Structure 1
Amino acid sequence: MAGLLFMNMADEYQEVVEKEFKEKVDELKDTRMVGLLFMNAADEYQEVVENEYKAKAEELKDTKMAGLMIMNAADEYQEVVEKKFKIKSKEFEVLQAQKSEMDARATSLESELQETTAVKEKLEVDAMVKKREYDAVK
């Protein structure tokens, strides 16, 4: 009888242990499932972050490229403007030289005009004198 009681107790203990073992196995499965869910979520998040990083890196690259293109265009524009400025400066120098020549020519012509006017006035006076002499002789 004591042996039977011992066997019953051993069977009950085995059932309790097997039940607890099954619960622990189920708990372990659930823990693994939760761990896998966390890992999948972390992987998805990492993928999203990596894609965003790549997009931002590409955007930065494009922005740098656009900046370089703008700087190159500005440099080219500056070169064109500097060339035009040099051409206009030379044209201005030529025009200044021509103006100086014209001013000198105008001064010379004014001087000649004054001389010619003086000669004309003298000739008119001489003509009047001759006319009076002619009228007086008549």
Structure 2
Amino acid sequence: MTSQLNVLIVDDDPLIREMMIDILEFEGYRLRTARNGEEALQVLLGEERYVVFLDLMMPVMDGSTLCRRLAAQPELRRRHRIILMSAMDRLAGASPLQADGLMPKPFSVEDVLQALAPFHSLSP
């Protein structure tokens, strides 16, 4: 399967990033990675649209702060779709962040692919 979706994986844990890369490269997604919200913001300021797998707990800039920064710039927020990923107890408090999806950690291949399924109609 080849997808036209651009996916940004934002997580400070290199093992999580590598697992996500392995899953999504196999499925044909175009990928970028970032280690924290600050690096992610630099990617998201560009012209491309992304579906973003965003960890909530990271150094430098966490996922909650990145969501608030994007919400403050409506043109950015409309361009990108955010899937928050974290332990279930942290995801329970994520509703004010206006995420487009949630994915618990740990995750399976099916969890990742199901999280992306609603976004396949988006243009790159």
TM-score band by shorter chain is under 0.3
Structure number with the bigger relative contact order (C-alpha 8 A, sep ≥ 6) is: 2
More strand by percentage: 2
* Greater share of residues in helix: 1
After TM superposition, the score normalised by the length of structure 1 is: 0.12
